[in-house]
Amino acid sequence: MIRIDYPFDFDERGRTALTTEYDHIRDMIEQFLFTRAGERVNRPDFGGGLLDVVFEPNSDALGSSLQRTAQAGLQQYLGDLITVQVLVASTEEAVLRVDVRYLVKRSGETRTESFERSLS
């Protein structure tokens, strides 16, 4: 199966860049986490919306709610490819960091990925 790299890019030959299955899954997780709800025209409920709550007052309740919501959304949209085991979101000095541990269903391999976005 051919998988186009995200974000869209060109390879050294000037053709559309391709990626591996694991990188493709990582790219899809990243797209979900940092897409705002309503941002995608044909899927208004798609997106983790993590960037929308960055400036909310930090609390344990917000953190656990955000983690549960993002984890449930990943299971909804990528549940045929992965099983999310752990998702932890944290902010430090204007940087949002999300750590996700998940099982790739096709291979049975457990992977851990980190995603960061600067808030400034």
pLDDT digits (tens, 9 = 90+) for 80-99: 999 999 998 887 777 778 89
* Structural domains of the chain, with CATH: 21-118 (3.10.450.40)
Residue 108's Cβ-side half-sphere holds a number of Cα atoms within 13 Å equal to 0
pLDDT-derived band of residue 66, with 50, 70 and 90 as boundaries? confident
Instruction: Please say whether the beta carbons of 3 and 17 come within 8 A.
Output: no
61, pLDDT greater than 90? no
Residue 53: the pLDDT is 66
- What is the value of pTM for the model shown? 0.83
Q: Are 94 and 118 in contact (CB under 8 A)?
A: yes
* Mean pLDDT in residue range 67-76: 89
The arrangement of strands across the sheet holding 109-118 comes to: 82-92, 95-104, 109-118
Question: Residue 117's pLDDT is what?
Answer: 83
Q: Please compute, for residue 103, the number of CA atoms within 13 A of its CA located in the half-sphere on the CB side.
A: 6
Looking at per-residue confidence, does 79 or 43 come out higher?
Answer: 79
Assign residue 38 a region (left: φ > 0; alpha: ψ between -120 and 50; beta: otherwise): left
